[in-house]
Amino acid sequence: MVTSMLELVDDWEFNVLGIYNYRKPGPFDSLFNFVRENHDKIPGDIVESGVYRGSSLLGLGMLLKELGSTKKVYGYDSFGGFPPVYHAKDDLSEFDRMAETGLIDDAHIAAINRNRHWRETLSGTPQSTATISTSGDFSGTSLDYVKRKIDLAGLDNVVLVDGPFAETMTAQSTDPQQIMAVLMDCDLYNSYLDTFNFVWPRLADGGMIYLDEYYSLKFPGARLATLEYIEGKPVELVKAPQKLGDFERWYLKKRS
């Protein structure tokens, strides 16, 4: 049963509970600031594709409560890790082709190669799409685990949608009818395309899609799917202000 929302004060409390601390600077600044500034201006709810253990999902739910918003956050995930079969565009070798064709620059491919080298050196095994993330294949979660965190946080504005994206993100889905913002944190080529196909027709003019893996050292399919999908569409691809030592952060804004 959902009770009153947790009153978290210190950063360590967010860390212990595995909730993104949206009150301090972090990788999702552009998304959370967009929600703060536009929750009462742009219609629609928020979608997250790729929930894993619910850190950013709960952070978004808590922020909406603090803002007094009636919007909801819909979290889509299979809660069972990566699918057993990957698209060819998720193979790590795609990074080399992307570098050769200018889709990523020299500094990006150099970082990709260093990351792969360090991980292979430490693990003693070649890296693949299924192993290169620090979270492995993302199977270290469950629907019940995330539900318990939502109940603990006292949130009644978070909706979990369990299942493969191809089955849960369909034109027949009635909710959410309109979308204000999207956090795409689902890594893989097909997952990105499934999310785009679902959210784009429902995304309000001026709405945002935050692309967690557009600049990635691990998942080439995310950038490939993004560039393919947005071609010819009324959209602005934006690089967020970069903090010293941080990755590049990118998002889309839908134009009317």
Reading the chain (256 residues) residue by residue, the pLDDT tens digits are: 445 788 888 999 999 999 999 999 999 999 999 999 999 999 999 999 999 999 999 999 999 999 999 999 999 999 998 988 899 999 999 999 999 999 999 999 999 999 999 999 999 999 999 999 988 888 889 999 999 999 999 999 999 999 999 999 999 999 999 999 999 999 999 999 999 999 999 999 999 999 999 999 999 999 999 999 999 999 999 999 988 888 999 999 999 8
Residue 224 lies in a domain: yes
Residue 115 lies in a domain: no
Partners of residue 211 on adjacent β-strands? 184, 250
Which residue is it, tokens 């709810």? 45
Q: Tell me: the pLDDT tens digits for 120-151?
A: 999 999 999 999 998 888 888 999 999 999 99
Alpha-carbon distance 150 to 128, whole Å? 33
Residue 107 lies in a domain: no
Residue 122 lies in a domain: no
Domain boundaries, position 47? 11-91+141-254
- Contact criterion met (CB below 8 Å) for 90 and 188: yes
Residue 20 lies in a domain: yes
Supply the pLDDT for residue 3.
Answer: 53
CATH code at position 81: 3.40.50.150
Supply the pLDDT for residue 146.
Answer: 97
Residue 161 lies in a domain: yes
Enter the tokens of residue 192.
């990105």
Residue 18 lies in a domain: yes
Alpha-carbon distance 237 to 251, whole Å? 6
Peptide bond into 201 cis (omega under 30): no
- Contact criterion met (CB below 8 Å) for 64 and 73: yes
Rounded to two decimals, what is the model's pTM?
A: 0.95
Alpha-carbon distance 47 to 186, whole Å? 12
Residue 110 lies in a domain: no
- Contact criterion met (CB below 8 Å) for 204 and 184: no
For the chain, count helices (H), then strands (E).
9, 7
Cβ contacts of 50 within 8 Å, gap of 6 or more:
76, 77, 138, 183, 184, 185, 186, 187, 191, 212
- Contact criterion met (CB below 8 Å) for 181 and 35: yes
For 126, other C-beta atoms within 10 Å of its C-beta total 11
Question: In 3D, which of 143, 188, 177 has the Cα closest to residue 161?
Answer: 143
Number of domains in the chain: 1
Alpha-carbon distance 154 to 13, whole Å? 15
For 117, other C-beta atoms within 10 Å of its C-beta total 11
